[in-house]
Amino acid sequence: MTEQDWIREGATVVEYSHQFNAPDGITRAKVAKLTKTQIVLDNERRYRRNDLRLVGQVHNYSGYNELVPPNDPRIRDVIAERKLRALVHRIEQIPRTAYGKGADGVLAALDEMEKGIRATRAAITGKEA
């Protein structure tokens, strides 16, 4: 088994985008075609076979795109960070419903926050809340 056995026509791969000034990103795609030097995805993006970097992109100080297998640990990290940002956004909205409702409203808001935290933790770990 070679290091790149996960790259074959029809296989699901992940485009990992590392940006130095923004959160990392991922995009799932399928391998549409393999040439002698390139991996062509179903979204028409092309990656070099020798280093799995995006064709036409050189490593620079703003970031890079790289093709990785679906089980790459960085994917879980990106998904976890996305879920955390979404949770923070939801939590920021909850107190608006509690204002003017006294202690009961505040306690209900805290319950909603805890529920969101448990659901996010479960989504990241893969364990039920």
What is the domain extent for residue 101? 76-125
Q: What's the whole-number average pLDDT of the chain?
A: 87
In this predicted structure, which of 50-54, 101-105, 112-116 has the lowest mean pLDDT? 101-105
Residues 61 and 104 in one domain: no
Residue 60 falls inside a structural domain = yes
Binned at pLDDT 50, 70 and 90, residue 15 comes out as: very high
Using an 8 Å Cβ cutoff, are 87 and 117 in contact? yes
First to last CA, the chain: 38
Residues 21 and 62 in one domain: yes
Binned at pLDDT 50, 70 and 90, residue 1 comes out as: very low
Query: What's the CA gap between 69 and 75, in Å, rounded?
Result: 9
Binned at pLDDT 50, 70 and 90, residue 2 comes out as: low
User: Is this model's pTM higher than 0.75 or not?
Assistant: no
Residue 5 falls inside a structural domain = no
Residues 106 and 66 in one domain: no
Number of structural domains (the chain) is: 2
Residues 58 and 83 in one domain: no
Residue 99 falls inside a structural domain = yes
Residues 29 and 62 in one domain: yes
Residues 67 and 104 in one domain: no
Report pLDDT for 60: 65
Q: Scan for tokens 């960070």, then name that residue.
A: 81
Using an 8 Å Cβ cutoff, are 21 and 7 in contact? no
Residues 16 and 67 in one domain: yes
Residues 19 and 65 in one domain: yes
Residue 55 has pLDDT above 50, yes or no: yes
Query: What's the CA gap between 48 and 50, in Å, rounded?
Result: 6
